[in-house]
Amino acid sequence: MTKTYKITLLPGDGIGPEIMAVTVEVLQLLGKQLDLEFQFTEALLGGAAIDATGEPLPSVTLETCKQSDAVLLAAIGGYKWDDLPSGQRPEAGLLGLRSGLELFANLRPATILPQLIEASSLKREVVEGVDIMVVRELTGGIYFGKPKGIFINENGERRGVNTMVYSEAEIDRIGRVAFEAARKRSKRLCSVDKANVLEVSQLWRSCITELGKEYPDVELSHMYVDNAAMQLVRNPKQFDTIVTGNLFGDILSDAAAMLTGSIGMLPSASLGAGNPGVFEPVHGSAPDIAGQDKANPLAQVLSAAMMLRYGLNEPVAADKLEKAVLQVLDQGDRTGDIFSPGMNLLGCKAMGAALLRAMGE
Ligand code: NAD
């Protein structure tokens, strides 16, 4: 029987609509091939929503997202809206979407594709074979803990305060996402903290260790964040899945991503409790190349693969999409951002056509 999934599409701004169009075509073909039906509903977010409605996240967009099985987002933002006050800028739409859907887990893979190894700033022998998933807690920790603010003390001096706080329940729910993600990969999980200094990290470590007893098939290790930062550039191949809090994850996921050297290739997933997940490329709306058919659609397509794997539990379909991406790269097809001499330079649409051929259109 055909399985049906409701997908909300948020193409957003800049190159968003271009890379989304390619991804929708690819998903439509995949659906036909694997007997899956994707019912797409497009909604407004970011600058496009500001222009049409005056708000970066219209309530109908959030409602549509909540009613769907998964949300596929491209990117938002651009020069046109840069002078608006911060609460009215396109980014406010993105933050509103994340909090509206209670997306507490951010999954960022950093995979070195053999075809793009030269794009990394590290030596081939260090990065060859790297395949890491960073699971970052997204709605807690020092970014949200209270008290926070800049206060004036008795002698008139200003003090800046943020509070790093995690409850057992918050640690438990991100831990579960990470153990489940590790299960879908090589079954190794490294929890990163600063338990030698921070009490909040001591609680983190004890909760993750306790949770580990429920996942005896996953090999759990712990590492201090300073060591993890060092090991990521010294010997990244030792990592499979990493789980960490909001602040450490913010920094480590960017460091891990840059091992790959190419921003146009990086997908991400944000998952919440009881709401659909949001799947989006790591890159922004690239206003400098928007409307020129130069964008690399592969991070968006790989985000769709993450949607299939982590949002809809359709691993066969996810594998097929990822295989098609590898095949076009094997053929030497490249958009400008990952181009090197001797390869075939393609635009966004032509890259989409190459993917469809690779899937056996
Ligand atoms: P960016 O990621 O949009 O672009 C950085 C550079 O990478 C640019 O030179 C761009 O052309 C290139 N690039 C990015 N994605 C590409 C792709 N798919 N194919 C080819 N080249 C690509 O970051 P930025 O320039 O700092 O930001 C531009 C706008 O995007 C800003 O308004 C920013 O706020 C917004 N932004 C949005 C998100 C999001 O939607 N999640 C994330 C980051 C930035």
Are 180 and 250 members of one domain?
Answer: yes
What sections of the chain are H helices per DSSP? 16-34, 47-53, 59-66, 90-100, 124-127, 168-183, 199-212, 225-234, 246-258, 298-306, 315-330, 348-358
Distance 191 CA to ligand 1 centre (A): 30
| CB contact at 8 A, 152 and 158 | yes
pLDDT tens, position by position, 94-135 = 989 998 999 999 999 999 988 889 888 899 999 999 999 999
Are 119 and 250 members of one domain?
Answer: yes
Are 23 and 45 members of one domain?
Answer: yes
Are 283 and 256 members of one domain?
Answer: no
Atom of ligand 1 lying closest to residue 46 CA:
40
Are 119 and 26 members of one domain?
Answer: no
Distance 296 CA to ligand 1 centre (A): 11
* Domain limit, last residue, from 262, 283, 313: 262
Within a domain: 267 = no
Within a domain: 269 = no
Direct distance between the N- and C-terminal alpha carbons of the chain, in angstroms, rounded to an integer: 22
> Which residue in 32, 51, 82, 254 is the catalytic one?
254
Within a domain: 268 = no
* Nearest C-alpha neighbor of 46 from the set 15, 16, 77, 18: 77
Atom 44 (ligand 1) nearest CA: 284
Within a domain: 270 = no
Range of 121's domain?
112-262
Mutation choice for ligand 1 from 138, 283, 338, CB with most ligand atoms inside 8 A: 283
Phi, psi of 184 (to 5 degrees): -80, -5
| CB contact at 8 A, 236 and 126 | yes
Residue 178, pLDDT score: 98
Q: What is the C-alpha to C-alpha distance for residues 90 and 31, in angstroms, rounded to an integer?
A: 32
Residue 260, pLDDT score: 86
pLDDT tens, position by position, 296-345 = 999 999 999 999 999 999 999 999 999 999 999 999 999 999 998 999 99
Our answer on whether the CB atom of 288 is closer than 6 Å to any ligand 1 atom is yes
Are 163 and 89 members of one domain?
Answer: no
Are 132 and 52 members of one domain?
Answer: no
Within a domain: 152 = yes
What residue type is 113 in one-letter code?
A: L
Phi, psi of 333 (to 5 degrees): -75, 130
250 in catalytic set: yes
What sections of 138-189 are H helices per DSSP? 168-183
Are 66 and 142 members of one domain?
Answer: no
Q: What is the C-alpha to C-alpha distance for residues 301 and 265, in angstroms, rounded to an integer?
A: 9
What's the CATH number where 32 sits? 3.40.718.10
| CB contact at 8 A, 276 and 66 | yes
Residue 258, pLDDT score: 86
Are 94 and 116 members of one domain?
Answer: no
Residue 43, pLDDT score: 98
Within a domain: 167 = yes
Our answer on whether the CB atom of 296 is closer than 6 Å to any ligand 1 atom is yes
Counting Cα atoms < 13 Å in the Cβ hemisphere of 210 gives: 11
* Domain limit, last residue, from 209, 238, 262: 262
pLDDT beneath 70, residues of the chain: none
Within a domain: 64 = yes
> Which residue in 69, 131, 172, 250 is the catalytic one?
250
Are 258 and 281 members of one domain?
Answer: no
* Domain limit, last residue, from 205, 237, 262: 262
pTM over 0.85: yes
Looking at the 3D structure of the chain, how many domains does it have? 2
Are 96 and 144 members of one domain?
Answer: no
Are 130 and 160 members of one domain?
Answer: yes
